[in-house]
Amino acid sequence: MRLDKFLKVSRVIKRRSVANEACDLGRVKVNDKVAKAFTEVKVGDVIEIKFGENWVKFEVLNVAMSIKKEDCKEMVRLMEE
């Protein structure tokens, strides 16, 4: 699945256009590499996103094309620094 779509489906970022913009600005890393919106995401990948001055790091647990709002927490696991 594309990175921008994954961020929207998992509800890490609210809109796909915002996720796309974050990728274009170099604020998203996948496995410690700056990632573009078209980067493929798979289970086990570690994604880091820069929100303001802070980096948020999480692991991909599940990749689904669509998911209920209640189940989106099962797609990612927040990692401690």
Annotate 7-36 with DSSP letters as a single string: HHHTTSSS-HHHHHHHHHTT-EEETTEE--
Q: Are 63 and 75 in contact (CB under 8 A)?
A: yes
CATH code where residue 21 lies? 3.10.290.10
pTM for the whole structure: 0.89
Going by the DSSP 8-state scheme, the letter that residue 67 receives in this structure is -
> For the chain, what is the domain count?
1
Which value, to the nearest 10 degrees, does the dihedral of the CA atoms of residues 77, 29, 36, 12 take? 30
Q: Domain limits at 18?
A: 3-78
pLDDT in tens, 22-74: 999 999 999 999 999 999 999 999 999 999 999 999 999 999 888 888 888 88
69 CA to centre of own chain: 16
